[in-house]
Amino acid sequence: MKKLLFILATLFSVTTYANALVEGKQYVQVSNSQATSSAEVIEFFSFYCPHCYSFEYQYQIPTKVKNSLPQGVEFKQYHVNFLGRQSENLTRAWAFAMATGNTDKVKEDLFNAAQKDKLRSMNDIREIFIKHGISAEQFDSGINSFVVNALVNKQINLAEQMKVRSVPDFYVNQRFRVNPEGLNQQDFIQDYVLTIKGLLQK
């Protein structure tokens, strides 16, 4: 009974928060209807982006968002190409990591190498994957595979469709974009998480 009451209280608080969200403040509506068959949250990011690095490792916002999502809501991270250098290769490498289930293995080292501007070619990126147990043969045969090509195109096309111009950038159901400038700066992390949970109720 206590568990049921807790669940009902949580649902009530999230619904209340959803109703309190103001378009143009905490979020921007980018589509009139949900563009996905199932609920999802997408973060667009770049390994070159220092704010993305802070979100990931200092504030841990992606992890907190992912852990707070209701059952059945998928959290995705898509890489963008517009910060130059090895961005296109990193988008492809991230697609390969997603396709092979290795995102958690390579993410931190890819971030660190990009933040220190140590990546000069796909070979430098390849070495990071090999370091984490992905064989050279697996990388070489998979990096330009049909599945990876499809994920590369999905990341690029969706970033263009959503008109992503800066990162990190969070979208809910390809319908709402979180507006970080409108969040409570005194409790930024919690407000970020609550805003996303609230937008899932709209």
Q: What percent of the chain has pLDDT over 90?
A: 86
Domains defined along the chain, listed by start = 36-200 (3.40.30.10)
CA contacts within 13 A on the Cβ side of 114: 29
Which residues, 6 or more positions from 141, have their beta carbon under 8 angstroms from its beta carbon? Answer: none
Q: Give the Cα separation of 85 and 67 in Å (integer).
A: 32
Q: Give the Cα separation of 202 and 196 in Å (integer).
A: 10
pLDDT one-digit tens code per residue, 26-50: 999 999 887 788 999 999 999 999 9
- In this predicted structure, what is the pLDDT of residue 36? 80
> What's at 176, amino acid-wise?
F
- In this predicted structure, what is the pLDDT of residue 6? 39
Alpha carbon 201 to chain centroid distance? 19
Q: Give the Cα separation of 119 and 90 in Å (integer).
A: 10
- In this predicted structure, what is the pLDDT of residue 14? 60
Cβ–Cβ < 8 Å for 78, 45: yes
Average pLDDT, rounded, for the chain? 92
- In this predicted structure, what is the pLDDT of residue 5? 38
Question: What pTM value is reported for the model?
Answer: 0.91
pLDDT one-digit tens code per residue, 61-91: 999 999 999 999 999 999 999 999 999 999 9
